[in-house]
A and B are shown apart, each in its own frame.
Chain A
Amino acid sequence: MNLVYLSLAPALFAPGIGSRAARPFAPIALLGVATVQAAAAIAVALTVSGTKTIAGGYLTTDATARLFLVLINVLFLGIAAYVWNRARTAPELADAVSQFARLSLVFMGAANLVVLSNHLLAGWIALEATTLAAAPLVVRAGVASSRRASWRYFLFSSVGLAIALTGLACLARGLEESGHSSTFFLHELRTLSGGPPNLWRRLGLVLVVLGYGTKLGLAPMYSWLPETYDEAPPSVTALLAAVQFNCALVCLMRVLQLFRAGDPDLVASELLVLGLLSMAVSTVSIIATRNYKRLIAYASINHAGVIAIGLAIGKSATYGVLLYVVSNAFIKAILFLTAGKIRAHYGTKDTREVAGLIKDLPYSGLFLMVGTFALLGLPPFGSFLGELIILSGLVRAGQVLVFVVFCTLISLTFVATGRTIFPMIWGEPKRDVHWPKQSFLAAAPKLTFLIALVAMGIYMPQPVNALFREVAASLGGE
């Protein structure tokens, strides 16, 4: 159990790492803290079983908490390794690395609190804290457009979270209307949230899905996402896309675990509409864009749409949703970190200016290629299996129209992404430039993510599979 408390420790290291005296050691200290965190998270997942509450009932170690604790800490370790390597190869980034180390540790402390939280409001506060820590990280010194993007991120996040908070207040009011005392503790809500839905509860559910949906980048409130992911440094984009996305998803899943059964049709309809709308707008944007970072950002909106549709269907699709969620966290981390490497070398984000990556930057070319295959949901990656299960869930649920629209949008995304990315990988290099050799060490984090991605599509170890099934069951999955 002490290891669970250790998950909240990163924030304690933040002031020390951010100090001027510690600046030269910030990258290695960040890597060290991230390594300990990831090890602790894995140890918690392996040693704790069942649902236990600690810290006066405010924290839980249920299956959802364990799965996402491991996921976000392993991802953070990869991001920290990337930052350590960037600091090694670009000493002029010392100030930026120091600021990243300080704020990212606060961010991770809050992120761990989100996934471990056994209290809906505490989870909301922790998610808001991740936003407060991440907003300054989006700003790049001397770049006005990044300040604008940071503000847009903060504005939309604040609005989304305000809507979610209003929804939580309405859910509490709904409990009072049903004759229960209002509580936000998950273990208490599990015993109270049954019974017929009332108007407050329905309003609360709609607002919570819309509010947390904004944090996930779901349409209609998605416009912050492409701009923020494009303007933020790659390490921060990876942090937002791979870690914070999953924190927001955990908050949404907690509410669905508790309140969905009372009004399944309402939740399903809202999630289906938001999901299809997100897939549609992202597909159009992917076709139009010539900026590879924005393309990956639009693909993230597309993925959020797929996840929303999978959650809407529930039942047999739930296991697929979880596979898809975990796979996509790794895919986004690989692609955004690779995009950072490409941007650092070519000095542009225009897809037409980058060609022949597989010859110029073999590791980056390989990661972009494999990441794109996984992004498009090709076998043998976990995303393929996840998408397949969601599609089969749609057919089983009799949602034929949604199935047809889903397949059409996915096909269009496939063609548009391939048309833009493949020339970057295999096209003729536009300039005859000899880049410095890429070290294996720099590629190691992304390689680890890649192995995890393939493993999820081919062979899932029994304990991991059992954890996935436990989380799926908590969401009403089969």
Chain B
Amino acid sequence: MTGVLLAFIIVALVPLFVATWRTSLLGLSLQGGLIAWLALRHSATLSFGSALTALDTVGLRALAAPAVLYAAMRALKVPPRNNVIAPNLLSWAIAIGLVVVAFRSSDVLVPPEGEPQMLVAVSGSALVLGMFVLSTAQGTFSQVVGLLRIENAIALFELGGSGHSGALGIRVGMTLILLVSVGLYRWYVLHVPRDDEADSDADTETAVL
């Protein structure tokens, strides 16, 4: 489990330094795959619960969300380079510093060393890195990446330990929320102009509800 968690922190960090949108999506996809690995590692037989976990992690997080965003970015003909954080030494130092702080905090939250402590450290790191991306990102795509990073971090914390979390109804609800959110993310990436961009369409409104 420790190896998978270390891999998770690597796929959370690397796309911050390799500034292309394809790398960001690949990072998200790999995060989803690693969460699936951790969540399903104890599932010897196929049950509704494990199928739901697979749908949530593999279907939505590893495949659908990155694929939908990839299609949207292709449709917009966006150039390959995309900075999710500012490309300078200070931003990179802050990112690494946040990971260190998250690891130190996990020492306090889970005193005995071991896999539970590592899970908290990696989830915490992924969460604060997601927040960091959100706080610095300008474009809609980068903000969506930040949101998905945060959602993956929470999923890792919930699913990474025991592999399942809560009643089935609640998990179905969570998966549906993610599904609809991914659809909305696509719409926003395609249709929301940047803050510094002029409105592309004129105000054609005649009456307001």
Distance of A184 Cα from B158 Cα, bound (Å): 14
- Asked if B113 CB lies within 8 Å of chain A CBs, one says no
User: Which secondary structure dominates where chain B touches chain A?
Assistant: helix
Per-residue 0/1 for A213-247: is the Cβ within 8 Å of any B Cβ (1 yes, 0 no)? 00000000000000000000111100000000000
Report the interface size for chain A: residues with CB under 8 A from the other chain: 47
Q: Are A154 and B208 in contact (CB under 8 A)?
A: no
With both beta carbons as reference points, the residue of chain A lying nearest to B143 in the complex is identified as A155
- Asked if B174 CB lies within 8 Å of chain A CBs, one says yes
- Asked if A343 CB lies within 8 Å of chain B CBs, one says yes
Give A344 Cβ to nearest chain B Cβ, in Å.
Answer: 6
Q: Are B154 and A166 in contact (CB under 8 A)?
A: yes
Question: Contact partner of A166 among B157, B174, B204, B209, CB < 8 A?
Answer: B157
Question: Contact partner of B208 among A166, A199, A233, CB < 8 A?
Answer: A233
- Asked if A142 CB lies within 8 Å of chain B CBs, one says yes
Q: Are B177 and A121 in contact (CB under 8 A)?
A: no
Q: Are B108 and A143 in contact (CB under 8 A)?
A: no
- Asked if B96 CB lies within 8 Å of chain A CBs, one says no
Give B39 Cβ to nearest chain A Cβ, in Å.
Answer: 15
Identify the stretch in B41-49, B70-78, B190-198 within 8 Å (CB) of chain A at 4 or more residues: B190-198
Distance of A344 Cα from B207 Cα, bound (Å): 7
Residues in A whose Cβ lies below 8 Å from that of B184: 132, 135-136, 154
Give B139 Cβ to nearest chain A Cβ, in Å.
Answer: 11
Distance of A96 Cα from B188 Cα, bound (Å): 19
Q: Are A151 and B140 in contact (CB under 8 A)?
A: yes
Residues in B whose Cβ lies below 8 Å from that of A158: 147, 181
Question: Contact partner of A125 among B154, B177, B191, B208, CB < 8 A?
Answer: B177
Give B114 Cβ to nearest chain A Cβ, in Å.
Answer: 15
- Asked if A86 CB lies within 8 Å of chain B CBs, one says yes
Per-residue 0/1 for A158-178: is the Cβ within 8 Å of any B Cβ (1 yes, 0 no)? 110010011001000000000
Report the interface size for chain B: residues with CB under 8 A from the other chain: 38
A132-B177, A203-B109, A235-B209 in contact; A147/B134 too (CB < 8 A)? no
Give B92 Cβ to nearest chain A Cβ, in Å.
Answer: 23
Q: Which residues of A114-167 have CB atoms within 8 Å of chain B's CB atoms?
A: 119, 121-122, 125, 128-129, 132, 135-136, 140-145, 147-148, 150-151, 154-155, 158-159, 162, 165-166
A141-B205, A199-B109 in contact; A125/B143 too (CB < 8 A)? no
Q: Are B209 and A233 in contact (CB under 8 A)?
A: yes
Q: Are A132 and B127 in contact (CB under 8 A)?
A: no
- Asked if B173 CB lies within 8 Å of chain A CBs, one says yes
Distance of A119 Cα from B140 Cα, bound (Å): 33
Residues in A whose Cβ lies below 8 Å from that of B157: 166, 169
Distance of A9 Cα from B141 Cα, bound (Å): 36
Give B151 Cβ to nearest chain A Cβ, in Å.
Answer: 7
Q: Are A199 and B205 in contact (CB under 8 A)?
A: no
Q: Are B207 and A132 in contact (CB under 8 A)?
A: no
Distance of A141 Cα from B191 Cα, bound (Å): 12
Question: Contact partner of B207 among A92, A100, A125, CB < 8 A?
Answer: A92
Residues in B whose Cβ lies below 8 Å from that of A58: 169
- Asked if A200 CB lies within 8 Å of chain B CBs, one says yes
Residues in B whose Cβ lies below 8 Å from that of A100: 209
Q: Are B205 and A140 in contact (CB under 8 A)?
A: yes
Residues in A whose Cβ lies below 8 Å from that of B201: 142, 144
Give A135 Cβ to nearest chain B Cβ, in Å.
Answer: 6
Q: Are A144 and B143 in contact (CB under 8 A)?
A: no
Question: Contact partner of B154 among A96, A169, A200, A343, CB < 8 A?
Answer: A169
Q: Are A142 and B205 in contact (CB under 8 A)?
A: yes
Give A159 Cβ to nearest chain B Cβ, in Å.
Answer: 6
Q: Which residues of A62-107 have CB atoms within 8 Å of chain B's CB atoms?
A: 83, 86, 90, 92-93, 96-97, 100
Q: Are A145 and B199 in contact (CB under 8 A)?
A: yes
- Asked if A393 CB lies within 8 Å of chain B CBs, one says no
Interface CB pairs A-B, < 8 A, 5: A143-B204, A151-B140, A159-B134, A200-B109, A340-B208
Q: Which residues of B are interface residues toward A (Cβ below 8 A)?
A: 108-109, 127, 131, 134, 140, 143, 147, 150-151, 154, 157-158, 166, 169-170, 173-174, 177, 180-181, 184, 188, 191-193, 195, 199-209
Q: List 15 additional A-B contacts (Cβ < 8 Å) besides A92-B207, A121-B170.
A: A125-B174, A132-B180, A142-B202, A143-B203, A144-B199, A145-B199, A155-B147, A158-B181, A159-B131, A159-B147, A165-B154, A166-B157, A169-B157, A184-B170, A203-B109
CB-CB nearest 6 A-B residue pairs: A144-B199, A142-B204, A125-B173, A233-B209, A151-B192, A96-B209
